[in-house]
Amino acid sequence: MQLPSNLRHILSVVAMFAVILVGCDSGGSGGGSDVPEPSITGVSPTEGAIGTELTLEGSDFETGANVTVDGVAASSVTVESPTRLFAVVPSGITTETPVDVTVLNNESKTASEADAFTAIPPKLSFVNSATRPSGQVGSTVILDGDAFGDVQGTGTVYFNYDESAGTGIAATIQADDDWTNSFIVTTVPSGASDGPVVVETEVGVSESIPFNVTDGASFSPSNINWTQTSSLPTGVSSHDASFAQFENANGDTKRYVYVTGGIDAQDNALTQAIGGELVQQGEVSSWAQVTDLPNSLAHHATVAATRFNSRVDTTGHLYSIGGIDASSNVVSSVNRAQINPDGTLGTWNSETALPQPLHNADAVLFRSAIYVVGGATTGNAPVATVYKAEIDTSGTIGTWEQQQDLPTAIAHHGLVSFGGYLYTVGGNTAAVDPNSNTNSNTRTGAISNGEINLRTGEISGWSANPNELGKSREKHSTLVSGGFVFVSSGIYSAAAQGSSENTYAQINSDGTIGSFSGATGSNTLLSEGGNNLYNQAAVSYTDSQGVAHVLIIGGDDVNVPGNKQADVLYY
């Protein structure tokens, strides 16, 4: 039977009120009984700063939920899912004492985690992955630590910090994501000099780390002044050299260069390892035998890790990577020797081998990770592979992880790092004799830029630099100093005349390398008693006065291959 319309209306109103009443009876003041209360199973991190982003794990977090820390509303709240939300620690909470963290759902149902978070002063562990860092005004600086806060807020990085005045020279933070809870990216500010670096937050000031502000090298042709210094004990090519700065037993800073392996005038691969102290204006005082390599080796790479450029907690370590042995086998072996406070080396020990045999690859150390880029494998075939391995505080190398490949397979190239980028410079894209001085049409002047993700250390990708070398070049030296890329010697068009011995370009603020200019004046390696070189070794470094230098070590003679050089020149 169909009810009259007015009666149907009355019954629907009554039913609606019944639903409302039932809901009120079952939910009390906080909402319906079918709406569960939130719960918190974990809060991380448990320590941090004002501005630290907390991750709350649990259940039944509602969209629009609020969070309080010590009773103060969080600066921002993002509910990712019913089981996870993020909240930024606000100003105004009690510091250096554990406080409660509370979630408040829309139905006024709450969950609290007692003593879940403590706001602490910042902890500064490393600057540029070192405890004895250095850099030029304007150069990129990366500070590692904890409790900086994920949001900068009132946080500040000070150079030349004066503890009594509570201030210093503030560094500029360019972008929001340059300030995180565990690392900060900035630059050395104008006016900075040698002195302590600290991080200040609302909670307090970190312990300081001493920072050495260095001068930049000039690469104008009129300013290059090659000078002879102590020669090697014997002529050698296809060797490698690494610069190491460390403290001796008295706490004095020492600067050494280590030269390992190579090929002598009889074409024998060498086990030789020698060290020379860099003194006064940057010259080598003398060379001394240190612990030989475990096997004869040439065309290998080396890097040195000390407290000045890595997280190691010993004096330092020297690493040899890949190469060609005395039987002409390409090897994947990696070896490590401890650097002693007196500059000698300890015993060489095997480390984690490369995933494949490589020679004429190049390697750099960046933020306590070794990157090995390109090179040639068995049959001299170039590769595009890139590997990365972390060094722990004891100097031990972890697992080699493959990174994004280079755009092109390359060997006999240069490799440098600067400000969060890797750069390959020149090289050869075909299989060539590693000891030959023959010009090749597969030689290249191209430069590839690899951006490093500062959070993970992974290479985000490679791109072609807009500018190339003025002449294609291989078996050369590539160095970074004073914000410039400097390229010297090697095989290039007219290398026998040395007309384009040196070239340089500035590294731009966007990470690209600018146009290359010549830096070859009348004062050349040849005119100062050296030769037109290829397969030489080179390092850049700063002397005790903070002045940047370049050191060219040994090498083969472009004009007379096999005429191995013992000369060492610097400027």
Which residues lie across from 211 on neighbouring strands? 195
For CA atoms 382, 386, 392, 397, the dihedral sign is negative
Lowest mean pLDDT among 83-92, 102-111, 238-247, 376-385: 102-111
CA distance 332 to 256: 27
The string of DSSP letters for 112-132 reads: EEEEEEEE---EEEEETTBSS
Q: Residue 112 — φ and ψ, nearest 5°? A: -125, 145
The pLDDT, as a whole number, for residue 217 is 64
The pLDDT, as a whole number, for residue 179 is 94
pLDDT by residue (tens digit) across 465-499? 999 999 999 999 999 987 789 999 999 999 999 98
Q: Most confidently modeled of 139-153, 213-227, 399-413?
A: 399-413
Q: Do residues 207 and 264 both lie within one domain?
A: no
Mean pLDDT of 423-441: 97
pLDDT by residue (tens digit) across 126-169? 998 888 888 889 888 999 999 999 988 889 999 999 999 999 99
Please write down the long-range contacts of 539-542, taking CB distance under 8 Å and 24 or more positions apart: 539/241, 539/242, 539/243, 539/257, 539/479, 540/217, 540/243, 540/479, 540/480, 540/481, 540/486, 541/243, 541/245, 541/255, 541/257, 541/278, 541/282, 542/134, 542/212, 542/214, 542/215, 542/255
Q: Do residues 59 and 89 both lie within one domain?
A: yes
- 130 within domain boundaries: yes
pLDDT by residue (tens digit) across 258-301? 999 999 999 999 999 999 999 978 899 999 999 999 999 999 99
Rg value, the chain, Cα? 30
Would you say 88 and 67 are in contact if contact means Cβ atoms under 8 Å apart?
no
Whether residue 49 is predicted with pLDDT greater than 60 in this model: the reply is: yes
- C-alpha dihedral, 26 to 29 to 35 to 41, nearest 10°: -130
Q: Do residues 174 and 234 both lie within one domain?
A: no
Whether residue 227 is predicted with pLDDT greater than 70 in this model: the reply is: yes
**What CATH code is carried by the domain that includes residue 78?**
2.60.40.10
- 405 within domain boundaries: yes
The pLDDT, as a whole number, for residue 108 is 82
Q: Do residues 492 and 372 both lie within one domain?
A: yes
**Taking all residues of the chain, what is their mean pLDDT, rounded to a whole number?**
91
Whether residue 17 is predicted with pLDDT greater than 70 in this model: the reply is: no
Q: Do residues 393 and 272 both lie within one domain?
A: yes
Structure tokens at 121: 């002063």
Residue 15: strand, helix, or coil: helix
Q: Using H for helix, E for strand and C for coil, what is the string for 324-343?
A: ECCCCCEEEEEEEEEECCCC
Q: Do residues 207 and 306 both lie within one domain?
A: no
Host domain of residue 158:
123-214
- 219 within domain boundaries: no
- 221 within domain boundaries: no
Q: Where does the pLDDT of residue 11 fall: very low under 50, low under 70, confident under 90, or very high at 90 and above?
A: very low
The pLDDT, as a whole number, for residue 280 is 79
- 499 within domain boundaries: yes
Quote the pTM value. 0.82
Q: Among the three residues 214, 237, 253, which one is the final residue of a domain in this structure?
A: 214
Whether residue 238 is predicted with pLDDT greater than 70 in this model: the reply is: yes
Q: Do residues 73 and 135 both lie within one domain?
A: no
Q: Do residues 45 and 29 both lie within one domain?
A: no
Structure tokens at 131: 């405890």
Q: Using H for helix, E for strand and C for coil, what is the string for 392-440?
A: CCCCCECCCEECCCCCCCEECCEEEEECCEEEEEEEECCCCCCCCCCCC
Q: Do residues 508 and 523 both lie within one domain?
A: yes
The pLDDT, as a whole number, for residue 382 is 99
Whether residue 121 is predicted with pLDDT greater than 90 in this model: the reply is: yes
Structure tokens at 520: 């070859």
Q: Among the three residues 155, 186, 214, which one is the final residue of a domain in this structure?
A: 214
Angle in degrees, CA 372, 375, 380, rounded to 5: 155
- 296 within domain boundaries: yes
Q: Do residues 409 and 513 both lie within one domain?
A: yes
Q: Is 208 exposed, middle or buried (0-12, 13-18, 19+ CB in 10 A)?
A: middle
Q: Do residues 149 and 4 both lie within one domain?
A: no
**What CATH code is carried by the domain that includes residue 539?**
2.120.10.80
Structure tokens at 294: 């475990």
Tally the C-alpha atoms within 13 A of residue 476's C-alpha that lie toward its C-beta: 34
Q: Do residues 16 and 137 both lie within one domain?
A: no
Domain count, the chain: 4
CA distance 259 to 179: 39
Would you say 436 and 381 are in contact if contact means Cβ atoms under 8 Å apart?
no
Whether residue 222 is predicted with pLDDT greater than 70 in this model: the reply is: no
Q: Among the three residues 119, 134, 158, which one is the final residue of a domain in this structure?
A: 119
Whether residue 3 is predicted with pLDDT greater than 70 in this model: the reply is: no
Would you say 43 and 101 are in contact if contact means Cβ atoms under 8 Å apart?
yes
Amino acid at 109: K
133: CB partners within 8 A, 6+ apart:
126, 127, 141, 197, 209, 211, 212, 308, 309
- 339 within domain boundaries: yes
Whether residue 513 is predicted with pLDDT greater than 90 in this model: the reply is: yes
- 273 within domain boundaries: yes
Lowest mean pLDDT among 111-125, 137-151, 301-315: 137-151
The pLDDT, as a whole number, for residue 135 is 86
For CA atoms 552, 556, 560, 563, the dihedral sign is positive
The pLDDT, as a whole number, for residue 225 is 83
- C-alpha dihedral, 289 to 291 to 294 to 299, nearest 10°: -50
Whether residue 24 is predicted with pLDDT greater than 80 in this model: the reply is: no
